[in-house]
Amino acid sequence: MSNKNLLKIAFLSLFVSFQIQASDPVSGQIIATKSCDRCHGEFGISDDTDTPHLASQSVSYIIKQLQDYKSKVRGDKNMYKRAKKLDNQQMNDIATWYESQLLPETNILLRKNIKTPSLVNKGDVNRGIPPCDLCHGKDGKTSIGSTPVLAGQQFGYLLSTMEYFADGSRSNDPGGAVQGIIKKLSDVEIEALAVYYSELGGREAEE
């Protein structure tokens, strides 16, 4: 086989590989409408305080959670049934769709006037707790790698998620970093953080 033909095959293989990996938010929206909207709401905005908003979450965070559900690293029968049907391309498409959606603020004054817990911007050196904004940003919207956006997330979901990390029933955080920190927090501190981040997005922290 000539070098010219080999180069052509290599180019076509690279092109096909790129096409498979490229995200398609339109396809993601179609899948999300069929499989995700019932719980997570249209455009990834949930009406249930215990079900997370997916709008504005990063591609890497959503893909990681779907993969963890699929491999049962993160336990949830309902999510497992859905995630196991998705291939990597579909996960990427869904994640890209949700990342492109905006989570609307409902009360800007609430966000401006909220009191910031010291754990958010100072942490607690004596307990070895770094400030939350180190990873989640001062606006609660920073997403580093698979770090989730917290501003405007549902209060009930934030509260239950931190409680799950604290009691060990959830442990899919990279390196166990989040679990290690939350285990050091009191119930009062956990609730205060859940209230803060939900209201940081201009949303009332309704139980």
Tell me the pLDDT tens digit for each residue of 75-86. Answer: 999 999 999 999
Please say whether the beta carbons of 84 and 171 come within 8 A: no
* DSSP letters spanning 61-106: HHHHHHHHHHTTSS--HHHHHHHTT--HHHHHHHHHHHHTS----S
- 151-200 tens-digit pLDDT: 999 999 999 999 999 999 999 998 999 999 999 999 999 999 999 999 99
> How many angstroms separate the Cα of 166 from the Cα of each of 26, 98, 160, 161?
38, 28, 10, 9
**pTM for the full model?**
0.87
d(CA 180, CA 182) in angstroms, rounded, equals 6
- 100-128 tens-digit pLDDT: 999 988 999 998 899 999 999 999 999 99
Neighbours of 107 (CB within 10 A): 14
Q: Show the tokens assigned to 56.
A: 């504005």
The fraction of the chain above a pLDDT of 90, given in percent, is: 81
* Averaged confidence pLDDT in the chain: 90
